[in-house]
Amino acid sequence: MYYNWKEKTNTDELKVVCNLIRNGELVIFPTETVYGIGANALDENAVGKIFVAKGRPSDNPLIVHLADKRKIEDIAQNITEVEQKLIDNFMPGPFTIILERKEIIPDIVTAGLNTVAVRIPDNVIARGIITFSGVPIAAPSANISGRPSGTDINDIRKELEGRVSAIVDGGKTQIGLESTVVKVINEIPVVLRPGGVTPEQIDEVIGNVRIDSNVFSEVNSESVVESPGMKYKHYSPETHCRLIYSEEDLDQIFYIKNLIKEYQGDVVVIGFKEHKEKFSIPNGRFIDVGSKYNYEEIGKNIFSALRKADKIKPGIILVEGLKKEGLGFAIMNRLLRTCGYDYIELKK
């Protein structure tokens, strides 16, 4: 079933969707970050359907979505002062915190860990579904595992239709990147996955923040991870991608132009609108993700751009990189994984 709630939520359809969740079915719904594919987090069989629908490895933990901060203590315990401060400042919003779990959460949700990832989305549709379902909802991004996350139903409907019981279309998502995932270790927030809440924002609240060493490096296949988006290939189209970054625009442009020649024009460049006229490639082979000065715009557009580029089926997709600051920190994290760490950073 497909429901269009771009303009407003339909009450009768909301009842149907919530009944599906309660009855152990899967529903795709929007959040402010990306679309999620959700199931009743307390129903082990329902959660198992998520892994089947996505082709997701079972040792990749899920995020549990709630509608209200007061519900956190239903699924987590021993919340520290620092954890509570993060909850108070960043929830609801694009922020996930790793907490000590209660036994009510099945092992399948947490990959058998004693922690649970908790988020409260800042999206009316998402919170309405969670509230009226009356259960916490486990929901990874709505996509086949490894593919770019879904930020627009039109990008993911074909690949997921038939794998879920209902699809709720709330329009294009606001942020376009998954939530920031944080675990507090020795009273210091550690960013396991960067996202819509930046390290700078966390530092302003806590006065301290650390970045996990795996944010910009590959994780060993045998490693245990507490956050999604750390271990496996993610956010990738079928076409191979290469990420290029330089502090100097001209160097970045020059390097990409040489690659275009090397591949005899059989490329798609994903880049900034200010650079569009710099590349001599056939029409339709440059995909503009927005201004290089507007990281929010780039974050919102990057996954759709990757899917659009993949449909062209070029020999390679070349992606312009950006500075690892603010939201650019999260964007570059996603792009490194998109490109399978095929990354060129040009030095001065």
Q: Residues 1-23: what's their mean pLDDT?
A: 96
Q: What is the mean pLDDT of residues 52-72?
A: 93
pLDDT of residue 235: 73
DSSP state of 184: E
pLDDT-based confidence at residue 18 (cuts at 50, 70, 90)? very high
Is a pLDDT exceeding 60 seen at residue 221?
no
- Provide the 3-class DSSP secondary structure of residue 322: coil
Structure tokens at 316: 């390679």
**Residue boundaries of the structural domains of the chain:** 2-173, 241-346
Q: What does the pLDDT read at residue 283?
A: 66
**H-helix segments, the chain:** 11-22, 44-54, 72-75, 81-90, 107-110, 124-133, 153-160, 199-206, 249-262, 295-312, 328-338
Rounded Cα distance, 311 and 5, in Å: 27
Q: Please give the pLDDT value at position 347.
A: 83
Average pLDDT over residues 158-176: 95
Mean predicted confidence (pLDDT) in 191-209: 96
Give me the helices (H) in 134-232, please. Answer: 153-160, 199-206
The CA–CA distances, whole Å, from 26 to 20, 142, 345 equal 7, 11, 41
> Can you name the CATH fold of 2-173?
DHBP synthase (3.90.870)
pLDDT tens per residue, range 267-311: 999 999 999 988 878 766 999 999 999 999 999 999 999 999 999
Tokens (6 digits) for 94: 């694009």
Tell me the mean pLDDT in the region 58-72: 94
Distance of CA 273 to the CA centre of its chain: 24
Please state the φ and ψ torsions of residue 81, each to the nearest 5 degrees.
-65, -40
Asked whether the beta carbons of 169 and 4 are under 8 A apart, the reply is yes
- The whole-number pLDDT of residue 248 equals 94
Residue 60: predicted pLDDT: 87
Q: What is the pTM of this model?
A: 0.92
Residue 128: pLDDT band with limits 50, 70, 90 = very high
| Lowest-pLDDT choice from 36-45, 66-75, 127-136, 139-148 | 139-148
* CATH number assigned to the domain covering 241-346: 3.40.50.11030
Region 315-343: what's the mean pLDDT?
94
Q: Between these two residues, 228 and 318, which has the higher pLDDT value?
A: 318
Strand ranges of the sheet holding 343-346, from the earlier edge strand across to the other edge = 286-288, 267-271, 316-320, 241-246, 343-346
- Chain centroid to Cα 134, Å, comes to 25
Average pLDDT in the chain: 93
Q: Which of 27-41, 139-153, 231-245, 280-294 has the lowest mean pLDDT?
A: 231-245
- Greater confidence (217 vs 23) lies with 23
Mean pLDDT of 176-195: 96
Going by pLDDT thresholds of 50, 70 and 90, the confidence category of residue 181 is very high
Per-residue pLDDT for 320 more than 90? Answer: yes
pLDDT band of residue 146 (cuts 50, 70, 90) is confident
Mean pLDDT of 79-86: 98
Q: What is the pLDDT of residues 223-238, one digit of tens each?
A: 666 766 665 566 778 9
Confidence band of 341 (pLDDT split at 50, 70, 90) = very high
